[in-house]
Chains A and B, each alone.
Chain A
Amino acid sequence: MGMNMETKLRDFHQARWDEPIIYELSREGERGILIPEVDEVMRYPDEGLEEIPQELRREAPPNLPEMGQMRVLRHYLRLSQENLGADLNIDIGQGTCTMKYSPKINDQLAANPKVSELHPFQSQETVQGLLKMMYETEQYLRGISGMDRFSLHPGGGSHAIFTIASIVRAWVDSRGESDKRDEIITTIFSHPSNAAASKLKGFKVITIYPGPDGRPDIEALKAAVSERTAALFITNPEDIGIYNSRIKEFTDIVHSVGGLCSYDQANLNGIMGLTRAREAGFDLCFYNLHKTFSSPHGCGGPGGGVVGVTEELAQFLPVPLVSFDETTGKYFLDYDVPNTIGKVKDFYGVVPVILRAYAWIRSLGEEGLKEAAKVALLNNNYIFKKILDIKGASAPYAEGELRMEQVRYSWEKLYKDTGVTTTDIQNRMFDFGVHYWTSHEPWIVPEPFTIEPTESYSKDELDEFIAILKHVANEAYTNPEIVKTAPHKSVIHHIDHDYLDDPEKWAITWRAYKKKYTGYFEPRKNRDE
């Protein structure tokens, strides 16, 4: 029989193929695919190698697996079954990442050969449809943000942050303030790349911590700003799911000392169409097309991070932009950006991701986008209420207040009561077929977990997730061993982490493994053996 509809718990076991490493499947001589023969007239005596100096020829063919085609397919399909994508689980345990439904039709639209088989240097006359799509996407993003110009280039959110840091660097340099404005202020509940990319672009990083209500401490901001402030890099709502209602004051404070304000909008999903970067006083912002705009996450990319700026800062954007020429009626790649930072990415952006975002916006329209935001809030506050009823769970900060699109919770009490950690809980959640992520470091919130239900999941699915969480929390109190030794029904069992941090022990490739070990992790006594 199927899952128990009363308890909402599944008798789950993930696929477990015990699949060998691909090199263990190799059989000399097998072929996975044949490639076109060289026509007779193009054949040279030494198969093209005659012009290549001996020392530049490969001595022996690369040691790659040799496998028939179906064996390759089967190996990878087994690996895919040992992976739990958003299409298969109630993927709300990966807060901050907006694991929403990626509509299948959009994948189909992006796979069109009239998209996939285009070359970036082919005549722009022959890509007018694609350029129009990119141009229109920018128009929509302008409307959603209130910004004046967008670059579609960056390959992900962190890459967008890096692009913004590059623009701030160019802006500071252009004003002759390179040595003077050398600080960027961020908050501890903004994504770590805000701090890391700022440092890379030569800025000193100042991190603001929250006050008792969970919102970044405005007094700390006032104390941090000065004529050295180049910019504020901030998320709102932050990763704990609390909206900073004084955001306009924040941007005003930074502007009062002459700095710029950059809005990390990874957490756009709950506020889309309800409040915009422009009205909150930001000069720059970015969106993750693989989060809010539904493009699939692809095991960690390809993604898309689009950067929006005010008119004043458009002169620094990477080239080219996509523009429209009124006189010819043509779309074109526009390199006329006077103080461009140059380029941050090959060519013009992650086209299949941009196309999916375009299709998603077109399918929902203005009202649909707002509905998505509102339902993301509704789903989150519904689950918020239910999780607070679970023994051992809490949501630090702003007690009694509702939340935005996600919540950072804590198992601090459960840990004190039982010794079970959030990592233990995580490992046990897998036994019921759902993901669960702890949280970005550092763990300011003790034993944290972050839940973001987005608009994509039904009430019944949210109830199922809550039932699993409740069950596992209850196990922590009644049978902590089963939680601490989890997972039991996942693909594999407890991993020994010693092998990942010790240079003598780690092996990042199979050939490194073969140099360090024989059999199953038996160290080679002599590396040259």
Chain B
Amino acid sequence: MEKKKIVYPYIPNSEPSVQKEMLEAIGINDIEELYKCIPEEVKFKGSMGLPEPLLSEWDLKRHVDGMMSKNASCLEYLSFLGGGCYQHHVPAICDEVNRRSEFLTAYAGEPYEDHGRFQALFEYASMMAELVDMDVVNVPTYDGSQAAATSLRMASRITKRDKVLVAGNSSPDRLRIIRNYCHPGVEVEIIPFDPKTGRLDLDALKEKINDGIAAVYFENPSFFGTIETTGQAIAEAIHSSGGLLVVFVEPNSLGVLAPPSRYGADIVCGDLQSLGLHMYYGGARAGFIATPDEERFVMEYPSRLFGIAPTSHKEWGFGDVAWERTSFAKRENAKEFVGTAAALWAITAGVYLALMGPKGMEELGKGILQRTRYARDLLAKIPGVKPMFDQTPAYREFVMNFDDTGMKVKEINEKLLEEKIFGCVDLSEKFPALGECGLFCVTEIHTAEDIEFLARAIAKVVS
């Protein structure tokens, strides 16, 4: 039986009669003639091994949804996982806006017919600038880790120094990204943290600071959720040798915590995931970088920066600031490189901040601080379970030690799964010196009952 010619809904000109008409217009007889420039030696004649197509939309939906039904989501399980990706409430308006065709399917239009995205991204930068207390914010890069790595490269170029000191209580995965991104050219040295407080070891840091150090980098809160309370002293130490302070900050903490500028940060960076983005298995990220409005900083950004400008008709206009910095303009003579990254997530984060407003961000921060304290105190009452770094205030995350229970974190997590709980991020492999430790996370979505349910479940598991 002759195979039926398929007319594909996504390919209007797969229809045979129109193909014929177009071939005639081109002046050829066969579509094959269009790729006769591909020589025989590189022509592919085999099978790509792809499965049979799911031609109808229903078949496709049934197949993909069926496959995803094997997953158990954080709406079905009670999750206390953090470690860089967080379950916060995503307001409906955030999804409503980022699913609009006009934003979702736009790309690289000009500031005229794509005025809307320029304004939305300028407004995003404006709101982030207020949150982090800086005057310049970029169109975001791939993720917070990329933002951190670029911030360190920027610091290196600004100071013309080629070594950076990085806090050992930072996210281990982020450090891998920073190390790869900085190599070669910028040496990365890890500064230990104090095992009692979870904070950066200030004495160890001071010993390492000299006039060859471009920057000190720490995260606030740290990977352990501890709030760095010695930021001012760290800033003074690095500034006194002419280096810069780079702080990776959780933006959703800034309704209650002082922005890093207040303790001397020169470059502030972080990730937007907690501002209205779904978790997507860690697949929805966007990295911001913020600095003062000084030429020595602005000219070192690799990212696009959107500025406001007047028009001939007195409208708000926008455009790219200092375009000649970018690799689009200068190829290998540019600052690092720039390309398609995460613009839609920045628009979304802007919507989130506009919805939350100053009061929403303040209430969010206070709510998370209280839940963090409550959860840590409650889990600490379980025999054999000890809080780590509990003399240091924590935001959203905290570390518990299970050494005295005689159980491994891995086992505890497996048992918690039976209660439909995603327990904690297991730190025992990445921080073996801490013993059997787990990182717990609570956000505004957790009720007292949720936290008590977790505590009871852990008590049962370790008893």
Contacts and interface: CB of A to CB of B under 8 A. Distances in A.
A529 interface: no
Given A129-B68, A129-B71, A345-B177, A120 B254 contact: no
Contacts of A122: 72, 74, 77, 79, 81, 422
Contacts of A62: 130-131, 254-255, 358, 361
Given A87-B105, A349-B283, A495-B317, A158 B73 contact: no
B25 A377 contact: no
A245 B35 CA distance: 10
Nearest to B75: A117
A19 B122 CA distance: 13
Given A297-B107, A362-B60, A365-B51, 19 more contacts: A41-B448, A75-B354, A82-B116, A83-B103, A119-B85, A122-B81, A128-B70, A276-B44, A345-B145, A346-B271, A347-B285, A364-B10, A367-B53, A371-B11, A377-B34, A435-B109, A499-B308, A509-B136, A513-B308
Interface in B6-30: 6, 8, 10-14, 18-19, 21-23, 25-28
A155 B341 contact: yes
A495 B174 contact: no
Given A42-B374, A298-B104, A371-B8, A117 B87 contact: yes
B361 A119 contact: no
A154 B229 CA distance: 35
Interface string A72-102: 1101111111111111100100100101111
Contacts of B72: 114, 122, 126-127
A117 B279 contact: yes
Given A48-B369, A52-B256, A490-B112, A366 B315 contact: no
Interface string B360-395: 111111111111111000000000000000000100
Contacts of B331: 192, 195-196, 205, 207
Contacts of A181: none
25 contacts: A31-B360, A35-B367, A64-B357, A76-B93, A81-B116, A102-B105, A113-B75, A120-B85, A120-B281, A130-B68, A156-B142, A158-B327, A197-B337, A276-B42, A345-B146, A365-B53, A375-B13, A402-B28, A440-B328, A456-B11, A487-B113, A492-B316, A496-B310, A507-B307, A508-B293
B119 A79 contact: yes
A329 interface: no
Contact of A275 (B43, B128, B308, B344): B43
Interface in B21-73: 21-23, 25-28, 31, 33-35, 37-39, 41-44, 47-55, 57, 60-61, 63-65, 67-73
Contacts of B167: none
Contact of B179 (A342, A404, A495): A342
B137 A371 contact: no
Contacts of A9: none
A139 interface: yes
B329 interface: yes
A85 B106 contact: yes
Contacts of A162: 337
Contacts of A427: 110, 112
A446 to B, nearest CB: 17
Interface stretch (B94-102, B193-201, B211-219, B399-407): B94-102
Top 4 A-B pairs, shortest CB-CB distance: A158-B339, A347-B282, A48-B369, A365-B53
A290 interface: yes
Nearest to A206: B332
A143 B104 CA distance: 29
B109 A84 contact: yes
A313 interface: no
Contacts of B323: 500-501
Contacts of B51: 362, 365
Given A126-B71, A362-B53, A119 B354 contact: no
B208 interface: no
Given A123-B422, A459-B22, A76 B97 contact: yes
Contacts of B176: 342-343
Interface residues of A, number: 221
A349 B285 CA distance: 10
Contacts of B362: 58, 61
Nearest to B31: A374
A348 interface: yes
B71 A118 contact: yes
B125 interface: yes
Interface in A378-402: 378-379, 381-382, 385-386, 401-402
A116 to B, nearest CB: 4
B2 interface: no
Interface string B300-328: 00001111111111111111111110011
Contacts of B227: 52, 56
Interface in A22-45: 22-23, 30-44
Interface string A193-210: 101111111100101000
Contact of B69 (A75, A120, A129, A318): A129
B340 A290 contact: yes
A236 to B, nearest CB: 10
B227 to A, nearest CB: 7
A512 to B, nearest CB: 4
A107 B104 contact: yes
A314 interface: no
Contacts of A176: none
Nearest to B314: A520
B48 A80 contact: no
A62 B116 CA distance: 25
Contact of B255 (A31, A61, A65, A178): A61
B166 to A, nearest CB: 14
Given A73-B93, A346-B143, A47 B369 contact: yes
B31 A377 contact: yes
Given A21-B316, A109-B61, A508-B321, A58 B107 contact: no
A415 interface: no
Given A31-B359, A301-B340, A364-B10, A109 B309 contact: no
A62 to B, nearest CB: 5
A461 B255 CA distance: 50
Q: Which of B330, B340, B350: most chain A CB closer than 10 A?
A: B340
A328 B350 CA distance: 45
B91 interface: yes
B319 A77 contact: no
A146 B48 CA distance: 8
Interface stretch (A221-229, A351-359, A470-478): A351-359
Contact of A490 (B91, B113, B119, B366): B113
B151 interface: no
B343 interface: yes
A113 B73 contact: yes
A368 B53 contact: yes
Contacts of A85: 100-106
Interface string B119-130: 111110111111
Contact of A118 (B23, B63, B126, B281): B281
Contacts of B243: none
B203 interface: no
A128 B98 CA distance: 28
A496 B71 contact: no
B282 A402 contact: no
B185 interface: yes
A284 interface: no
A303 interface: yes
A199 B451 CA distance: 50
A459 B12 CA distance: 8
Interface string B439-454: 0000011011101000
A212 interface: no
A107 B49 CA distance: 26
Contact of B332 (A115, A205, A364, A375): A205
